[in-house]
A and B are shown apart, each in its own frame.
Chain A
Amino acid sequence: MTTRPGMARLARRSRRGGLPYVLLVVMLLVFVVLPVVAGQQVTSFNYYNLFQVFASLGLLSVALGLTMIAGEFDLSVLGTYAFAGLVAVKLGADDPVVGLLAALVLAALIGALQGALVAWFRLPSAAVSLGVYIALLGLTATISDSKTVPYNNLNVSDVLDRQYLEIFSLRSIIAILAVAAIAVTMTYTRFGRDVRAIGSDRRASLRIGVRVDSILVVLFVLSALLSALGGSMLALSLAAATPDPGFDPLIFALTAVLLGGVSLRGGTGTVLGIAAGILTLSLLRELLTVLATPTYVSSLATGGLLLVVAFAAAPGLNAWWLSMRRPTKRVAEPPSLSRVG
Chain B
Amino acid sequence: MTAENVTAADPDTTVRAPVPSERRGPSSSAPRMLWGLVVLVAVSALALTTDGFVSVANARAILSSVSFTGILAVGTVVIMLSGNLFSLSIGTSAAVSSMLFLYLLPDVGFVLAVLLTLVAGYATFALQGAIVGRLDGNAIIVTIGAGALQVGAVTWLLPGSVQVPDGVDIGFLTRSVLGLPFPLYVFLAVALLVQCWLHYSATGRQVELVGENKAAARAAGLPTGKLVTVAFAVAGLCTAITGILLAGFNQNANLAVSGTFTFDAIAAAIVGGSSVIGGRGSAARAVLGAVIIATIANMLLLRGFGTGVRVLVEGIVVVLVVVAAQRRKRSIA
Q: List residues of A whose CB falls within 8 A of some B CB.
A: 1, 71, 73, 117, 121-124, 126-128, 130-146, 202-203, 206-207, 209, 212, 243, 251, 254, 258, 263-265, 294-307, 309-311, 313-317, 320, 332-337, 339-341
Chain B contact surface mostly: helix
Residue of B with least CB distance to A1: B8
Min CB–CB distance A7 → chain B (angstroms): 15
The residue among A124, A202, A313 with the most chain B CB atoms within 10 A of its own CB is A124
**Measured between alpha carbons, how far is A231 from B155 in the docked complex, in Å?**
29
Please judge, given known A-B contacts A121-B323, A254-B141, whether A141 and B307 are in contact too, CB under 8 Å: yes
- With an 8 A cutoff between CB atoms, is B102 at the interface? no
**Measured between alpha carbons, how far is A305 from B327 in the docked complex, in Å?**
39
- Pairs of residues from A and B, 4 with the lowest C-beta to C-beta distance, nearest first: A135-B315, A138-B312, A306-B145, A141-B308
Judging by beta carbons under 8 Å apart, are A311 and B319 in contact?
Answer: no
**Measured between alpha carbons, how far is A300 from B155 in the docked complex, in Å?**
10
**Measured between alpha carbons, how far is A225 from B99 in the docked complex, in Å?**
41
User: Which of B65-73, B193-201, B217-225 is the contact stretch?
Assistant: B217-225
**Measured between alpha carbons, how far is A263 from B2 in the docked complex, in Å?**
27
Residue of A with least CB distance to B311: A138
Judging by beta carbons under 8 Å apart, are A303 and B307 in contact?
Answer: no
- With an 8 A cutoff between CB atoms, is B48 at the interface? no
Question: Chain B contacts of A298 at CB under 8 A?
Answer: 152
Judging by beta carbons under 8 Å apart, are A304 and B326 in contact?
Answer: no
Q: List residues of B whose CB falls within 8 A of some A CB.
A: 2-3, 6, 8, 11, 14-18, 85-86, 131, 134-138, 140-142, 144-153, 155-156, 209, 216-222, 225, 263, 266-267, 270, 275-277, 306-323, 326-327, 330
**Measured between alpha carbons, how far is A209 from B277 in the docked complex, in Å?**
26
Judging by beta carbons under 8 Å apart, are A130 and B156 in contact?
Answer: no
Can you offer 24 A-B residue contacts whose CB atoms are under 8 A?
A: A121-B327, A122-B326, A123-B323, A124-B16, A135-B319, A136-B315, A143-B308, A146-B306, A206-B15, A251-B148, A258-B141, A296-B152, A297-B152, A302-B148, A307-B131, A307-B149, A310-B138, A313-B137, A314-B135, A315-B135, A315-B136, A332-B218, A335-B221, A340-B216
Min CB–CB distance A312 → chain B (angstroms): 10
Residue of A with least CB distance to B213: A337
**Measured between alpha carbons, how far is A258 from B151 in the docked complex, in Å?**
21
Please judge, given known A-B contacts A124-B277, A297-B152, A333-B220, whether A203 and B144 are in contact too, CB under 8 Å: no
Judging by beta carbons under 8 Å apart, are A126 and B85 in contact?
Answer: yes
Judging by beta carbons under 8 Å apart, are B141 and A340 in contact?
Answer: no
18 A-B pairs besides A206-B15, A310-B131, A316-B225 with CB distance below 8 A are A73-B140, A121-B326, A123-B326, A124-B16, A131-B317, A132-B319, A136-B315, A137-B312, A137-B315, A138-B314, A141-B311, A202-B16, A207-B3, A264-B140, A296-B152, A300-B149, A313-B138, A340-B222
Judging by beta carbons under 8 Å apart, are B138 and A299 in contact?
Answer: no
Question: Chain A contacts of B18 at CB under 8 A?
Answer: 122
Min CB–CB distance A76 → chain B (angstroms): 9
Tell me which of B3, B144, B267 contacts A206 (CB under 8 A): B3
Min CB–CB distance A131 → chain B (angstroms): 3
Judging by beta carbons under 8 Å apart, are A128 and B322 in contact?
Answer: yes
Residue of B with least CB distance to A134: B315
**Measured between alpha carbons, how far is A73 from B322 in the docked complex, in Å?**
15
Judging by beta carbons under 8 Å apart, are B140 and A134 in contact?
Answer: no
Residue of A with least CB distance to B136: A316
Judging by beta carbons under 8 Å apart, are B136 and A142 in contact?
Answer: no
**Measured between alpha carbons, how far is A124 from B270 in the docked complex, in Å?**
12
Judging by beta carbons under 8 Å apart, are B3 and A332 in contact?
Answer: no
Judging by beta carbons under 8 Å apart, are B134 and A299 in contact?
Answer: no
Question: Chain B contacts of A143 at CB under 8 A?
Answer: 308
Residue of A with least CB distance to B24: A339
Min CB–CB distance B157 → chain A (angstroms): 9
Judging by beta carbons under 8 Å apart, are A300 and B6 in contact?
Answer: no
Please judge, given known A-B contacts A135-B319, A141-B308, whether A307 and B145 are in contact too, CB under 8 Å: yes
Judging by beta carbons under 8 Å apart, are B136 and A314 in contact?
Answer: yes
Min CB–CB distance B228 → chain A (angstroms): 11
**Measured between alpha carbons, how far is A264 from B139 in the docked complex, in Å?**
10
Residue of A with least CB distance to B309: A142
Judging by beta carbons under 8 Å apart, are A135 and B15 in contact?
Answer: no
Judging by beta carbons under 8 Å apart, are A139 and B144 in contact?
Answer: no
Residue of A with least CB distance to B313: A138
Min CB–CB distance B320 → chain A (angstroms): 8
**Measured between alpha carbons, how far is A103 from B225 in the docked complex, in Å?**
45
**Measured between alpha carbons, how far is A174 from B137 in the docked complex, in Å?**
36
Question: Chain A contacts of B306 at CB under 8 A?
Answer: 141-142, 145-146
Tell me which of B142, B153, B270 contacts A307 (CB under 8 A): B142
Residue of A with least CB distance to B88: A247
Question: Chain B contacts of A128 at CB under 8 A?
Answer: 319, 322-323
